[in-house]
Amino acid sequence: MMQSLEPQAGGFNFNNCSRNSVLESGLSELGFKPPTARKTGTTIAGVVYKDGVILGADTRATDDMVVADKNCMKIHYIAPKIYCCGAGVAADAEITTQIMASNVELHMLNTGRPPLVAMVTRQLKQMLFRYQGHVGSSLIVGGVDVTGPHLYSVYPHGSYDKLPFLTMGSGAAAAVSVFEDRFKPKMELEEAKQLVRDAIAAGIFCDLGSGSNVDLCVITEGGVDFLRGYDKPTEKGQRGGQYRYKPGTTPVLTKTVTPLTLDVVDESVQTMEST
Amino acid sequence: MAAAASMMPNFGQQISSKNDLVPDWTRQEVSTGTTIMAVEYDGGVVIGADSRTTTGAYIANRVTDKLTPIHDRIFCCRSGSAADTQAIADVVAYQLGFHSIELDEPPLVETAANLFRASCYRYREELMAGILVAGWDRRKGGQVYCVPIGGMLVRQPVSVGGSGSTYIYGFMDSNYKPGLSKDQCLELTAAALSLAMERDGSSGGVVRLASISEEGVERRVILGNQLPKFSTH
């Protein structure tokens, strides 16, 4: 199998430019317009701050060209103080987190101990590695356990990273740029919430695949604050004025009435079936 | 897009995916396209790695730790697929820990290397993992074992790996001499990694170094602005 021996091709890939130009010229010949952008994807992010972890996500779920859910929940419960944001294939992310939640509950009962974020991450990555990337869920696991606040990202093929701030999904590049600019270790709560909100908003506005509202989940030693709909940056604004003018705004100077004489040329009746 | 795909002949590109507008890198496997290096000296080993993990053209983690402890005095340097190498390292760490408890003594570096080789060779078709195993044990002192893609095992006094290694074979061949001291090895490794990171797009970030000897493990990080500079502009 030659696949594993192929060298890694990195850098920018411009192969699609020639394909696009051929497609566009070919399509216009046949009378079709080139396809417009379709929205799919997600922006999820997480940050470790002074007292714990803040997870954030956008709320748009798409089904090819249509927004299937304008306000879906991408932050899933795993344990009382461990939550998980899911990107990638929606069904895979949902089911994977549910399986994890169930395993964690059993583990807690078996060991008599509250779960560690590292334990959740290990189970996740072992399961995803077993499926060799076919379970297409990218997850950000964040929570507080006896050892402190932790944040992990887990990729569909089963690799993980442990970092103080993370973004995933199609809007990850937009969101991580906000983090790279303004992240500081041990931020205060309000500052950290604003930062995560701004990162998700960057994904909502700058990524075609994300939209609607910002959900936040603040996890600390004391408990969880699930802020559903923390910010709604895409809400339609209030119209400032009116384009409707009152009758009489424009004075009438002259009035000419021209009746149009119309003759009936043809009359036909078509009965409709109505049951 | 579906109409277009049926009209035009297949260019051998992936027009098939319906989620074409999700960026390519979200669907690529995470790889540690990387530069790793390990050097033996009298009394121990020095290992080093860059810190870049990529998914396609996007850097997923710019401060990765590719020097993974397998046991108290045995480390591995990982290159290739991040998922594969993390999984293999976990398996070997478990096996080695179990073996060490059975023997009731610290394990040999050669044992660890053979455990890596066993997994990498058996599953060679499914895995993409290039690993350097390095450490210290009482029997043979500092040792470096190279387990490249395919599952070969060979001991070498100095070894480099990863996509960036191709750029520094010449530097390594001309600058390595047997009998270097620990500090000289650290300097050599830092210099070699900086050169590779300068030229290889898939390597970058910071340089992580570790020295392993009987006394223990010393780790350090060299940040981007502190890297040795070479004048080629």
Q: Which of A29-43, A119-133, A247-261, B103-117 is predicted with the least confidence, judged by mean pLDDT?
A: A29-43
What pLDDT is stored for residue A150 in this prediction?
97
The residue from B32, B34, B68, B189 that is catalytic is B34
Domain assignment present for B203 = yes
Domain limits for position B97 = 31-222
* Percent over 70 (pLDDT), chain A: 91
Mean pLDDT (whole number) for A70-83:
94
Domain assignment present for B216 = yes
Distance between CA A160 and CA A138 in Å, rounded?
A: 10
What pLDDT is stored for residue A243 in this prediction?
87
pLDDT at A32 > cutoff 90: no
Q: Give CA torsion, residues A157, A160, A161, A164, to 10 deg.
A: 110
What pLDDT is stored for residue B5 in this prediction?
37
Domain assignment present for B132 = yes
- Chain A residues whose CB is inside 8 A of the B53 CB are 159, 161
| Interface membership of A13 toward B (CB under 8 Å) | yes
What pLDDT is stored for residue A20 in this prediction?
78
CA–chain centroid gap for B101, Å, is 27
Q: Which of B26, B197, B202 has the most A C-beta neighbours within 10 Å, making it the best mutation to test the interface with A?
A: B26
| Average pLDDT of chain B to the nearest whole number | 89
Domain assignment present for B93 = yes
Domain assignment present for B228 = no
Q: Which of B6, B11, B22, B81 has the most A C-beta neighbours within 10 Å, making it the best mutation to test the interface with A?
A: B22
Distance between CA B86 and CA B139 in Å, rounded?
A: 28
Distance between CA A217 and CA A229 in Å, rounded?
A: 10
Do residue B24 and residue A13 have CB atoms under 8 angstroms apart?
Answer: yes
Mean pLDDT (whole number) for B94-121:
97
Q: DSSP letter string over B160-229?
A: EESGGGGGGHHHHHHH--TT--HHHHHHHHHHHHHHHHHH-TT--S-EEEEEEESS-EEEEEE-GGGSPP
Q: Which residues pair with A66 in a beta bridge?
A: A63
What pLDDT is stored for residue B4 in this prediction?
38
Closest CA of chain B from A274, distance in Å: 37
Find, in chain A, the residue whose alpha carbon is nearest to that of B148. Answer: A5
pLDDT at A123 > cutoff 90: yes
What pLDDT is stored for residue B21 in this prediction?
54
| Interface membership of A169 toward B (CB under 8 Å) | yes
Look at the block and give the residue holding tokens 């390594």. Answer: B172
pLDDT at A33 > cutoff 80: no
Phi, psi of A34 (to 5 degrees): -65, 150
Confidence of residue A4 (pLDDT cuts 50, 70, 90): low
| Interface membership of A170 toward B (CB under 8 Å) | yes
Question: With contact defined as beta carbons under 8 Å apart, do A216 and A56 qualify?
Answer: yes
pLDDT in tens, A149-183: 999 999 999 999 999 999 999 999 999 999 999 99
Do residue B30 and residue A157 have CB atoms under 8 angstroms apart?
Answer: yes
- For the entire predicted model, the pTM comes to 0.78
Confidence of residue A132 (pLDDT cuts 50, 70, 90): very high
Catalytic residue check, B34 = yes
Do residue B60 and residue A161 have CB atoms under 8 angstroms apart?
Answer: yes
Element holding A195 (H helix, E strand): helix A189-206
Confidence of residue A26 (pLDDT cuts 50, 70, 90): confident
In sequence order, the 6+-apart residues with CB closer than 8 A to the CB of B157 are B39, B40, B144, B176, B178
- Chain A residues whose CB is inside 8 A of the B4 CB are 23, 27, 32, 34-35
Domain assignment present for B25 = no
Do residue B21 and residue A158 have CB atoms under 8 angstroms apart?
Answer: no
pLDDT in tens, A176-214: 999 999 999 999 999 999 999 999 999 999 987 788 899
Element holding A79 (H helix, E strand): strand A75-79
The residue from A42, A43, A62, A97 that is catalytic is A42
Question: With contact defined as beta carbons under 8 Å apart, do A118 and A141 qualify?
Answer: no
Domain assignment present for B18 = no
Number of domains in chain B: 1
Domain assignment present for B178 = yes
CATH classification at residue B187: 3.60.20.10
What pLDDT is stored for residue B7 in this prediction?
40
What pLDDT is stored for residue B22 in this prediction?
62
**What DSSP designation does A252 have?**
P
Mean pLDDT (whole number) for A115-122:
96
| Average pLDDT of chain A to the nearest whole number | 88
What pLDDT is stored for residue A16 in this prediction?
74
